[in-house]
Amino acid sequence: MKITYDASADAAYIYLTDIETGGAARTETVSENIHLDFDAAGKLVGIEVLNASKNLPESLLKNT
């Protein structure tokens, strides 16, 4: 698992596995701040968290 954080966009991405070139095959919106990415086989590969500074612990974001 890998986490990246873009402070200027206040967005974090949690990689659950390596995502192949071309990105996810499908994205589902769970809420206005949470988006799930799936590969072509339907496996969850990543989670995008918007407004990350309000939705994730500060300690998690500082370590990215």
pLDDT for the residue numbered 62: 84
Q: How confident is the model at residue 23 (pLDDT cuts 50, 70, 90)?
A: confident
Q: Using an 8 Å Cβ cutoff, are 33 and 19 in contact?
A: no
Location of structure tokens 């939705």: 55
Number of domains the chain contains? 1
Q: Using an 8 Å Cβ cutoff, are 34 and 48 in contact?
A: yes
Instruction: For residues 41-50, give the mean pLDDT.
Output: 94
Name the residue range of residue 20's domain.
2-62
